[in-house]
Amino acid sequence: MKDRDANRHPGPWRVMQVDSEFAGILVGAGFLVMGLVSMPIATWFFLGALLLGGSVALLLRFRKEKNREAMTLETPAPNLRVEPGNVAEL
């Protein structure tokens, strides 16, 4: 019986040395371009979604916030500074 797997081609992974994040973005952009080219209504939907998303982002970015600290997810750090005469007796 002959060993036919000895001279297998290593495939594209020997030459393709890219990050998986970059490859995923490239594949996603390719699918987006193919969808926009093949369906004209998808082009208008995509442009409308970009316009709506951009306007909401600008609205949230430049609106006047009264309670900016209340809207953040971070809690303010407590004041742990020890000053002379401010130390509690044990």
* N residues, the chain: 90
| pTM (2 d.p.) | 0.43
Averaged pLDDT in 10-residue chunks for the chain of 90 residues: 64 71 90 87 89 93 68 64 62
DSSP 30-42: HHHHHHHHH-HHH
pLDDT at 56: 94
pLDDT at 36: 84
43's CB contacts (< 8 A; 6+ apart) are: 36
